[in-house]
Structure 1
Amino acid sequence: MNTNTTNTSVLLAGATGYLGGYIAKELQIRKIETKILVRNLEKTAHLKSEHSTIFQVEVTQAESLKGLFKGVNTVISTVGITRQKDGLTYMQVDYQANKNLLDEAKRAGVRKFIYVSVLNGRLHRNLKMVEAKEAFVDELLQSGLDFTVVRPNGFFSDMKDFLDMAKKGRVYLFGSGEQKFNPIHGQDLAAACIDAIGSVKTEIGIGGPDILTHNEVAQMALLANGKPINIVRFPHAIRKFVLWCFRTFTSSKTYGPIEFFLTFMGDDAIAPRYGCHRLSTFFQQEMDVIQKADK
């Protein structure tokens, strides 16, 4: 992967999220001039540096972006709904907000657009959380800009769900629990996103260094909590029934994250390995933070 970022000026959208914060820090470490777009200035203390300028905008409103792309040659966007509860839809954020960024980038003569989607997104366009992301990827394909779609496996931050279950002394899985995946730490993924500035690849699948089964992650979470190994495995038929119930009786705002989680709990999700952070270490660090807070 070509990591040359000489004479690069970046506009970063989505910096207050899990991954965006790590990207902002990595840009600072590499001393890359950066414009950071945020909705809430109260969440930006950790983003300030001598190489960054912070702008308060609403990316779902195209007019708020005008003039901000001047002098920028690369846009990095991690904009998307995960567990937000602000009333906006996936199409309004994951698709339209990113399209607003893309349209303004084209008008300003930006050279490259880097967008963070999900692993195997094309295979899961039927999911509400993925549908809008892939609709935006379609826009990138037709944009005429150089672009790279970064497709990560699960984030370490998402693995806190295992810790939360383990805290109560039991972890619930589906099937045999032998489904494999390799989640990635935000710091490792951030480095890969910035390396993509100099890459000629239009798509990069990426995961962490360790390929783990769901059983192994459950065991790690229980051990980190100081709990005995107690894993309950439900048949996939129950997982599919729960999916049907949520899709039938709740709104997409409610079932979107659950649909995404339950779907990916049913299959292997292995991406090319990258980085050096281990999930077991992350779990222990999270528990150390919790224990200190409880004292």
Structure 2
Amino acid sequence: MQTVLVAGATGYMGRYLVSELHRRGYRVKGLVRSRERAEQRGEFGAPSLLGLVDEWVVADVGNGSEMDGLCDGVDRVVSALGVTRQRADPWDIDFRANLRLLALAERSAVSSFLYVNVMHAHEGTSMLMRSKAAFVESLRRSTVASQVINPSGYFSDASEFVDMARRGFAFGLGEGGHRLNLIHGADLAAFCIDHLGDESGQWDVGGPEVYSYHEIVDLAFAAVGKHARTVRVPVRVVRPTLWVADRLGPRMSSLTRFFLEGLQRDSVGEQTGTHHLAEYFNDLAVIDQDR
């Protein structure tokens, strides 16, 4: 039985990775900041880790002294460590914390290191994308076999579309024709563990269906039973918007760049999985009605 360390285990993606590893019979070592929080149900339907983790490590990834010896006895490392909605610096988490984890993995001679990245990270100008791209470059140069998984985007990210539809209108950049295939956390976890091993590589992946931004908006409005109303923002406002965001602080700059750049390119990866976006939106709408 191989031991796999999962970093970022309490996040949306980390929870599904732990669940899939446990299901396949791996021994799971979970790196978390709070075991109590980890054993509660996660956001957007992500599972509780209660009964799924064989060994808990409660530590702050920003504190190097708390991570000493972390990879001792570990066969493989899987990292979903990164900034999502936290008020944290991506350079400290997505780059430095992952780099520290990689150094520990190398020191303990683990067999492989799998990193859940994001598609087009090397093209982005936001601090979030630059931090991820910098770590991927470090990982590629490592002596440890590495797998870099680049999802198109998560179903959980698309929950914002349902929120907009519920309010009666959505925003779109330009014609909204750029395409993507968002993926459910469970499907992405299965893809990741399928590629866990001693062979290095990098894979772009997404869900089973490819939609344009405009079509995703339509799905969200259909889920809440409203007629789609979209406010189309012309592409020419992107540069002045970025100029303003850059002057409102690093966090606002990074989030604005990440969001606007994502709306201006296709993000379509290998189609996989069994979860469908329309069903996910319908489930969200039903949950909101029951509240």
* Structure 2 length-normalised TM: 0.93
Change (3 A) 1:241 1:133: same
- Structure 2 counterparts to residues 61-76 of structure 1, below 5 A: 61-76=63-78
- CA-to-aligned-CA distance 1:199-248 (integer Å, 9 cap, x gap): 6241011011111011110011111111112122121112332222212x
2:6 pairs, out of 3, 7, 12, with: 12
Corresponding residue SS for 2:160: helix
Letter in 1 for 2:96: Q
- Aligned alpha-carbon RMSD (Å): 1.4
Contact 1:172–1:233, Cα closer than 8 Å, also in 2: yes
Q: Is structure 2 residue 25 aligned with structure 1 residue 31?
A: yes
Letter in 2 for 1:112: S
Contact 1:79–1:94, Cα closer than 8 Å, also in 2: yes
Corresponding residue SS for 1:218: helix
Corresponding residue SS for 1:47: coil
Contact 1:11–1:69, Cα closer than 8 Å, also in 2: yes
- CA-to-aligned-CA distance 1:251-292 (integer Å, 9 cap, x gap): 111221221011111121111111111110000111111112
* Structure 1 length-normalised TM: 0.92
Contact 2:207–2:272, Cα closer than 8 Å, also in 1: yes
Letter in 2 for 1:148: Q
> Match of 1:176?
175
> Partners in 1 of 2:165 and 2:53 — Cα distance?
41
Change (3 A) 1:280 1:109: same
Contact 2:146–2:201, Cα closer than 8 Å, also in 1: yes
> Partners in 2 of 1:154 and 1:160 — Cα distance?
12
CA shift for structure 1 position 68:
2.6
2:62 pairs, out of 51, 55, 60, with: 60
Length, aligned pairs only? 283
> Percent identity of the aligned residues?
34
1:261 pairs, out of 247, 259, 262, with: 259
> Partners in 2 of 1:128 and 1:44 — Cα distance?
27
> Partners in 2 of 1:26 and 1:140 — Cα distance?
23
Gaps of 5+ in 2: 40-47
> Match of 2:152?
153
> Match of 1:42?
36
Corresponding residue SS for 2:271: coil
Higher relative contact order (CA 8 A, sep 6+): 1
Contact 1:48–1:54, Cα closer than 8 Å, also in 2: no
